[in-house]
Structure 1
Amino acid sequence: MVDEIRHQYEEDILNLSFSGRHTLGTPKVIPPDPQLEERCSNLILSDDQIERVSATLLKEIENGLRQKTNGEADIKCYPTYVRNLPNGEERGKFLALDLGGTNFRVLLIHLGEATPEKEFASRIFAVPHQIMTGPGEALFDHIAECLALFVKEYKVDKEVIPLGFTFSFPCRQEGLTKARLVQWTKGFTCANVEGEDVVELLQRAIHKRGDVTIEVMAVLNDTTGTLMACAYKQPACRIGLIVGTGLNACYVEKLDNIERWDGDFDDPKQCIINTEWGAFGDNGCLDFVRTEYDKALDAATLNRGRQLYEKMVSGMYMGEIVRHVLVSLAKEGFILNGSSYRHLLKPGKFLTKYISKIEDSPEGDFTN
């Protein structure tokens, strides 16, 4: 089996060598191919296109903030009900759960109570594919089981520690501890969760176990968590941006600009807005920059026609976009010099991490 895997790996390397050239010895600079550059020109945005994207994004955010246009807006701009930012003087012991992809992280955080090397402990747990696409109850039971393992491992299972639940999927928040899932993204399709309060589902799974006492004190998006974490050390921070498996951003907005605000208007007259701008372009406003590769990728996804901005930028989809580009160029004879590219025809064969490895190569070195 090991020999078969090694042989397959070596064959893949040969098949993925551009124009049949390898650099097993001294790297050499390969001059650019004008025809190939022309063929790939639609992957490079001009300044005018970038400015148009920027202006369109601002307009769509404004539509999300307005009561009249929110229903049709692709960027929903959900109020998070988080209105205060940390000042760096917060103290205490806290649990954090971050769910937003094929893995989730549990953390035990000490604010102002430990030396820097003991400020937090963390552990990453996997979310198996059958759980990502199975019943919702199984997902939250799995999370509850991992939470129990974690608190027992760090011997805090006898304490009642507040938990912050970072749930990085589009949610309509109705308070600090109530958020209803609008729609699954990132390959999740768990049944009986959309439209439900995810805090209640998690709390129910924890209570059902009966072996630990964990109370969810706040639910938030990973962008909000990023903003809060940065503001703890940099109080001037006002924007949280996630470019990872998914894509999203949040920012601090004045209450007067949030027409859908249904909370009180006492100080501070501000609220963090979770834009959910991964859906930017779902209404067609980004069609002027979408390529045939973007459209081919979208056509094969579970949520076709949704989260189009995220599919153009985020790590979950970037490798697949490159695979579509490579297949197209190979079919047209621009790369591989007629060598077999059958391995590239399989969806998901070209991983996003390969792009990082290629980009890490020194200029003129094509080993990676």
Structure 2
Amino acid sequence: MAGCGVEIDEEILDVNNPAIQMVKNSLKDVTMKQGLHQLLAAIMKMVPPHIEDQLIENIVQPFILRDEDYKKLMDVMLENFTRGLRKDTNPTAKVKMFQTYVKSVPDGTECGDFLALDLGGTNFRVLLISLDGQEVKMESKIYLIPQNIMLGSGTQLFDHIAECIFKFMKDHNLMEKVLPLGFTFSFPCKQVGLDKAILTTWTKGFNCAGVEGNDIVQLLHDAIERRGDIKVNCMAVINDTVGALMSCAHSDNHCAIGLILGTGTNACYIERLENVELWDGDWEEPQQVIINTEWGALGDDGALDFIMTEYDRKVDRHSINPGKQVYEKMISGMYMGEIVRLVLVKLCKHGLIFHGRGSEELKTMGRFYTKYVSEIER
């Protein structure tokens, strides 16, 4: 039947549903003498609209979680957080719970001019930020990171970043100024100081050689030194979750959690030092530190298999890092479009949408973008 563009499998037929069972039984009255095409036409004519709706619901059912599923997910997440915080289990923990060395949030009285870099996806942003208490002025420019650089060498990547910084400083007449710079680097890093972060693994489509295991601030300074025409000194490196938390806390100092749901996903929060067994900083007040959870790796050990769908498994299998960042692949923007495409392909294959005729675009991996989901929702 697949050759006719429509296929009906047992997996989507709920044998406990009387209406669907009636349709299945009625198929016995259709003889093969009608020919394959006539058989398919007869099948689809016998399926009332509400039965088609039921078949569609059966296919998307794995995405509908019960309260007990969410409770189990909470328990799994808390268990992984605890493993990452403890000294004896951290080496094997999938969720690393990196300490950031940021112990406090802004109080709204900060003043001065600062440069900021933001790298976390296909776009790289350079910003000039002026703080005067609660008043914030910001100018920024977005620069594209080409695919060949995302998959090239670390030297190419950081040379490209340095080139973008040069263009921004020239356009904003900053060539003669020396401003403190903060670097938001939104990939899993083990921080060993406020201005030193070791990349542990690339995510979100990046795979630049020679960066993993190295200090990204040093790589940035090396690229700037190779140019020799700009003066920039990176004072701090943070994750985008920490940046989100700090930004919100500037206007509301009760903010204690930073959450990113974008190209990737991650979260940070303020933890008491007594719970951070790997803490090697000072114990002066405040006795707390922001923890970068890197929860995108939740499930890399199979802990989320109980809610993974066949679509999640296909996305993971065909990614550039199979078996890694499982939670991120299940919920973040970089992968949502592909999950939807896989569902649409299956619905089409069973003749439940588009009369069973899908386009070549729809059948092509990566060709249904997440932005389409947003546009359809609007």
For the superposition of Structure 1 and Structure 2, which TM-score range results when normalised by the shorter chain? Answer: 0.7 to 0.9
Q: CA deviation at 1:114?
A: 10
Superimposed CA distance per residue, residues 224-269 of structure 1 (whole angstroms, 9 cap, x where no aligned partner): 0110111000000000000000100000000000001111211111
Summarize the alignment of residues 36-115 of structure 1 with structure 2, pairs less than 5 Å apart.
Answer: 36-112=56-132
Match in the other structure for 2:157: 139
1:262: which partner in 2? 280
* 8 A contact 2:110–2:133 mirrored in 1: no
Please name the residue that 2:257 is paired with: 239
Give yes or no for contact 1:327–1:341 (8 Å, CA) kept in 2.
no
| Aligned residue identity for 1:154 | H
Larger RCO: 1 or 2 (CA < 8 Å, sep 6+): 1
How many Å separate the matches in 1 of 2:59 and 2:334?
25
1:295 matched to 2:316? The reply is: no
CA contact (8 A) 2:83 2:89 kept: yes
Contact 1:330 1:341 in 2 (8 A): no
Would the alpha carbon gap of residues 90 and 321 (structure 1) be closer, same or farther in structure 2, given more than 3 Å must change?
same
Matched residue type, 1:85: V
Tell me how far 1:306 sits from its aligned partner: 0.3
> Could you state the TM-score of these two structures normalised by the residue count of structure 1?
0.87
Distance 1:38 1:31, change over 3 A: closer
Q: Where does residue 324 of structure 2 map in the other structure?
A: 306
Partner of 2:45: none
**Which residue number in structure 1 is paired with residue 40 of structure 2?**
none
Q: Which shifted more, 52-61 or 284-293?
A: 52-61
Aligned-pair CA distance for 1:152: 1.0
Aligned partner of 1:356 in structure 2 is: 374
Equivalents in 2 of 1:323, 1:356: separation in Å? 14
User: What letter corresponds to residue 47 of structure 1 in structure 2?
Assistant: D
Structure 2: unaligned runs, 5 residues or longer? 1-49
Helix, strand or coil at the partner of 1:310? helix
1:273 has 2:291 as partner: yes
What fraction of aligned residue pairs are identical, expressed as a percent? Answer: 53
Q: How many positions carry a matched residue from both structures?
A: 330
RMSD between aligned residues: 1.6
Q: Distance in 1 between matches of 2:72 and 2:365?
A: 32
Once the two structures are superposed, the pairs formed by residues 187-336 of structure 1 within 5 Å of their partners are 187-336=205-354
For residues 72 and 125 of structure 1, what CA distance do their matches in structure 2 show?
A: 37
For residue 31 of structure 1, report the CA deviation from its aligned partner. Answer: 10
Corresponding position of 1:180 = 198
Structure 1 counterpart of 2:109, one-letter code: E
Evaluate the alpha carbon distance shift between residue 115 and residue 291 of structure 1 in structure 2; reply closer, same or farther with a 3 A threshold. closer
Deviation, structure 1 residue 344: 1.4
Q: 1:113 to 1:267 in 2, by over 3 A?
A: closer
Tell me the distance in 2 between the aligned counterparts of 1:168 and 1:250. 12
Task: State the AA in 2 paired with 1:253.
Answer: E
Q: What one-letter code is carried by the residue in structure 2 that aligns with 1:35?
A: L
Report the AA paired with residue 279 of structure 2: W
| 1:338, distance to aligned residue in structure 2 (A) | 2.4
In 1, the alpha carbon distance for the partners of 2:257 and 2:52 equals 39
